[in-house]
Amino acid sequence: MAGASGERPASNWDWSDYDAAFTEEADGAIAALQDTGGDGLATKQLLERYHASPLAHTILAQWYFARADQQKPTNHLRRAAWMAPRCLHIAFALALVLIEMGSFDEADMVCAHSLLVPDLTDPVHKFISPKEQVDAIITSKAPEYRLGRGAIWAF
């Protein structure tokens, strides 16, 4: 997206503002989530390079969560939620981890708070899916995928 002469560099904040290097590394980290025997190096390297990206924190949190490590994903998702307070996708992921930990009251507070935030962002921009799939959702005219911006979507 960004990077042409005169344009500001991409923030790599999420799938709405990225560069080719981030896309390649994020797609590799997402693919690493499927490797149950892997060491998560791709997910950790993504966060090392893009430590200011809530999407990178969310991807690494997913890797830890898939390995039944509950504290590390909680820390990364709290950081991501702090960085992207208008993202329902991250708030939902944090609430899910908190529920798994038995922290029901805190999960309830996370959900309640996230629903009160004005001007929510489109949650697809922080989905943990390869960029190609995210693009397909964004460009889809199917109502079950794209009912509009402002975090209104169907399940």
**DSSP string over 32-76:** HTT-TTS--HHHHHHHHH-TT-HHHHHHHHHHHHHTT--HHHHHH
Euclidean distance between the first and the last CA atom of the chain, given in angstroms as a whole number:
29
Nearest to 109 by CA among 95, 93, 90: 95
The CA radius of gyration of the chain, in Å to the nearest whole number, is: 15
| Residue with the larger pLDDT of the pair 148 and 49 | 49
What pLDDT shows up at residue 5? 53
Contact call for residues 48 and 59 (beta carbons, < 8 A) = no
At residue 48 the predicted structure's pLDDT band, cuts being 50, 70 and 90, is: very high
> What mean pLDDT do residues 24-38 have?
83
Domain 20-139 has CATH 1.25.40.10: yes
- DSSP annotation of 122: P
Instruction: Note the pTM of the prediction, 2 decimals.
Output: 0.76
**Structure confidence by residue, pLDDT tens digits, 81-100:** 999 888 888 999 999 999 99
